[in-house]
């Protein structure tokens, strides 16, 4: 909004509310999405590392023209098609190690909030109805264009399909009246479905209130999407600003070109992960500042892969050092490099600079190991702790050992807890526990007097009662 770095001060003490535009689930996630969502995952990890209590919401657009078009092509129900791609989206997010989002919210499940917001806009005179739908009159909102720093006259040029019933070419749809074969919901204006922009502000107003801390998304969403969000929310609630800090991720290019299906350089996350590891992808993305453009190539990913391997090899050798006396100096170096890492991250999440301090630390560890084959235990622990913290902020995690006994005991405990809810006939809670366990790969089977559980972990199947 201000086109410069701003000091970050959350609205409510130590609490941070963040919303990031999620996918329209009509196709598989591509590398552009991966770049954006990994950037916010790192931002979320870092905010939590700094001690903020972050609530991070992402929307799932499961009602949209693109979904309807593809569903028609495949002779499927639009909502069914959306559900399939939403499932694949979660699978991809998991493969990318993106696990910082507290809540995914579907547009189709927030129709009543959307209707409320449109009602407010109609009552206040910001919206009008025609025979095709309800539109936002952008000439009624003098701030329109304040995020993208554009004048109204310029905005008109961007419109692709002007609806002849609209007052002004730049007006956008809030509600689209029902057309045959499209999903629709009842509303005070007859059956129809929401426009795209309104879902985000209906959700954020419901979950966060009229103002919240951070709104993220890819740079191409600034106009018209985020501009429309500001117009909707600030007009409907009467509170300014909708968002205290706008954060946008830069473009992803593939070997110097914009990624597109017509150019044949369209890469899905699934395809990328067949060739490269999640850690290499994350290291590659983090090597560029989130808001700068980034140029993807297989060659660069191969380089990232080798870097990851050498980092992991250094850590493994370092762990194998025997107990000895030396290491205080290295511990001091690690302390300083970690401070600089944090300074870089504090400066607008500057991951490339932060990573340079990780690389320095690894090279210092290598130098240490050239001269020594032993280290004192507390320095060893400290250095490893610093490396692990740096890596976990970037989202490159060490392979964790699986503690089967602990897993078994925890699952039994949760199943026992669920039995207590069942005894009290609290079916909502017991079903919620079942579905949450299912997300973790733990299946339950209820019998009259017991519940059997089953966890598949790699090639291992663990069962219990
Ligand atoms: Zn959005």
pLDDT digits (tens, 9 = 90+) for 406-418: 888 999 999 999 9
Task: Give the residue-averaged pLDDT of 358-384.
Answer: 97
What is the 163 CA–ligand 1 centroid distance (Å)?
22
Q: How far apart are CA 160 and CA 169, in angstroms?
A: 9
What is the 141 CA–ligand 1 centroid distance (Å)?
20
Tokens of 53: 């209590």
Share of the chain above pLDDT 90, in %: 88
What is the 209 CA–ligand 1 centroid distance (Å)?
17
3-state SS of the chain is CCCCCCCCCCCECCEEEEEECCCECCCCCEHHHHHHHHHHHHHHHHHHHCCCEEEEEEEEECCCHHHHHHHHHCCCCHHHHHHHHHHHHHHHHHHCCCCCCCEEEEHHHCHHHHHHHHHHHHHCCCEEECCCEEEECHHHCCCCCCCCCCCHHHHHHCCCCCCCCCCCCCCEEEEEECCCCCCCECCCCCCEEECHHHHHHHHHHHHHCCCEEEEEEEHHHHHHHHHHHHHHHHHHHCCCCCEEEEEEECCEEECCEECCCCCCCCCEHHHHHHHCCHHHHHHHHHCCCCCCCEEECHHHHHHHHHHHHHHHHHHHHHHCCEECCCCHHHHHHHHHHHHHHHHHHHCCCCHHHHHHHHHHHHHHHHHHHHHCCEECHHHHHHHHHHHHHHHHHHCCCCCCCCCHHHHHHHHHHHHHHHHHHHHCCCHHHHHHHHHHHHHCCEEEEECCCCEEEEEEECCEEEEEC
Task: Give the residue-averaged pLDDT of 237-248.
Answer: 98
Greater confidence (154 vs 10) lies with 10
- Around ion ligand 1, residues with a beta carbon closer than 5 Å are 21, 200
What is the 36 CA–ligand 1 centroid distance (Å)?
13
CA angle, 373 as apex, 372 and 374 as ends, to 5°? 95
Distance from the Cα of residue 331 to its chain's centroid: 35
* pLDDT tens string 70-107: 999 999 999 999 999 999 999 999 999 999 999 999 99
Q: At what angle do helices 111-123 and 227-237 cross, to 10 degrees?
A: 70
Q: How far apart are CA 303 and CA 157, in angstroms?
A: 42
Asked if 138 and 152 count as a contact pair (C-beta separation under 8 A), the reply is yes
What is the 63 CA–ligand 1 centroid distance (Å)?
13
What is the 23 CA–ligand 1 centroid distance (Å)?
8
Check residue 22 and give its pLDDT. Answer: 97
What is the 296 CA–ligand 1 centroid distance (Å)?
25
What is the 229 CA–ligand 1 centroid distance (Å)?
8
What is the 309 CA–ligand 1 centroid distance (Å)?
37
What is the 328 CA–ligand 1 centroid distance (Å)?
50
pLDDT of 399 over the 80 cut: no
What is the 265 CA–ligand 1 centroid distance (Å)?
25
What is the 20 CA–ligand 1 centroid distance (Å)?
7
What is the 131 CA–ligand 1 centroid distance (Å)?
26
pLDDT band at 160 (very low <50, low <70, confident <90, very high): low
Positive or negative CA dihedral for 164, 167, 172, 176?
Answer: negative
What is the 125 CA–ligand 1 centroid distance (Å)?
24
What is the 198 CA–ligand 1 centroid distance (Å)?
9
What is the 200 CA–ligand 1 centroid distance (Å)?
5
Greater confidence (85 vs 265) lies with 85
pLDDT band at 109 (very low <50, low <70, confident <90, very high): very high
Average pLDDT over the chain, rounded to whole?
A: 94
Check residue 181 and give its pLDDT. Answer: 87
- For 456, residues 6+ apart whose C-beta sits below 8 A from its C-beta are 441, 462
What is the 61 CA–ligand 1 centroid distance (Å)?
8
What is the 432 CA–ligand 1 centroid distance (Å)?
28
What is the 158 CA–ligand 1 centroid distance (Å)?
18
What is the 297 CA–ligand 1 centroid distance (Å)?
28
What is the 103 CA–ligand 1 centroid distance (Å)?
15
What is the 135 CA–ligand 1 centroid distance (Å)?
18
Lowest mean per-residue pLDDT among 161-170, 182-191, 252-261, 330-339: 161-170
Nearest to 111 by CA among 177, 173, 184: 184
- For 228, residues 6+ apart whose C-beta sits below 8 A from its C-beta are 136, 172, 197
Asked if 173 and 138 count as a contact pair (C-beta separation under 8 A), the reply is no
pLDDT of 464 over the 60 cut: yes
Q: 17 has which bridge partners? A: 55
Check residue 260 and give its pLDDT. Answer: 83
Task: Give the residue-averaged pLDDT of 282-291.
Answer: 98
Check residue 261 and give its pLDDT. Answer: 81
What is the 79 CA–ligand 1 centroid distance (Å)?
19
What is the 425 CA–ligand 1 centroid distance (Å)?
39
Asked if 268 and 256 count as a contact pair (C-beta separation under 8 A), the reply is no
pLDDT band at 458 (very low <50, low <70, confident <90, very high): low
What is the 60 CA–ligand 1 centroid distance (Å)?
9
pTM (predicted TM-score): 0.86
Check residue 11 and give its pLDDT. Answer: 97
Distance from the Cα of residue 35 to its chain's centroid: 10
φ, ψ of residue 272 to 5 degrees: the values are -60, -40
């Amino acid at each position: 909004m201000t086109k410069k770095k701003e000091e970050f001060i959350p609205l409510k003490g130590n609490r941070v509310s963040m919303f990031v535009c999620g996918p329209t689930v009509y196709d598989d996630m591509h590398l552009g999405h991966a770049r954006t969502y990994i950037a916010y995952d790192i931002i979320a990890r870092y905010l939590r590392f700094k001690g903020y209590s972050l609530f991070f919401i992402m929307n799932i657009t499961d009602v949209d023209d693109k979904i309807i078009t593809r569903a028609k092509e495949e002779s499927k129900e639009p909502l069914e098609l959306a559900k399939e791609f939403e499932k694949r989206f979660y699978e991809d997010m998991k493969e990318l190690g993106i696990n910082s989002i507290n809540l995914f919210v579907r547009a189709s499940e927030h129709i009543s909030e959307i209707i409320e917001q449109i009602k407010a806009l109609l009552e206040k005179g910001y919206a009008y109805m025609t025979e095709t739908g309800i539109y936002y009159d952008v000439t009624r909102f003098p701030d329109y264009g304040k995020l993208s720093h554009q004048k109204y006259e310029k905005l008109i040029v961007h419109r692709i399909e002007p609806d002849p019933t609209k007052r002004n070419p730049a007006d956008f749809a809030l509600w689209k009246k029902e057309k045959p074969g499209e999903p629709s919901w009842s509303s005070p204006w007859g059956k129809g479905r929401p426009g795209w922009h309104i879902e985000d502000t209906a959700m954020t107003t419901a979950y966060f209130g009229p103002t919240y801390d951070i709104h993220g998304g890819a740079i191409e969403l600034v106009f018209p999407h985020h501009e429309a969000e500001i117009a909707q929310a600030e007009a409907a609630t009467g509170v300014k600003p909708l968002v205290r800090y706008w954060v946008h991720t830069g473009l992803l290019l593939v070997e110097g070109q914009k990624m597109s299906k017509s150019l044949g350089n369209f890469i899905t996350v699934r395809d990328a992960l067949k060739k490269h590891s999640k850690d290499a992808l994350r290291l590659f993305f983090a090597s560029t500042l989130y808001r700068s453009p980034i140029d993807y190539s297989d060659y660069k990913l191969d380089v990232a892969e080798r870097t990851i391997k050498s980092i992991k090899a250094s850590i493994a050798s370092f762990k194998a050092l025997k107990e000895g006396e030396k290491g205080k100096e290295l511990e001091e170096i690690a302390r300083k490099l970690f401070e600089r890492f944090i300074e870089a991250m504090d400066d607008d999440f500057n991951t490339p600079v932060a990573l340079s301090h990780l690389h320095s630390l690894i090279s210092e560890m290598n130098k240490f190991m050239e001269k020594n084959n032993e280290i004192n235990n507390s320095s060893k622990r400290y250095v490893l702790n610093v490396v692990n913290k740096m890596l976990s902020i970037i989202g490159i995690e060490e392979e964790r050992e699986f503690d089967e006994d602990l897993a078994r005991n925890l699952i039994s405990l949760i199943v026992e807890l669920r039995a207590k809810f069942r005894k009290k006939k609290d079916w909502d809670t017991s079903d919620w526990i079942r579905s949450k366990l299912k997300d973790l790969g733990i299946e339950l089977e209820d019998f009259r007097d017991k519940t059997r559980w089953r966890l598949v972990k790699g090639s291992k199947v663990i069962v219990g009662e």
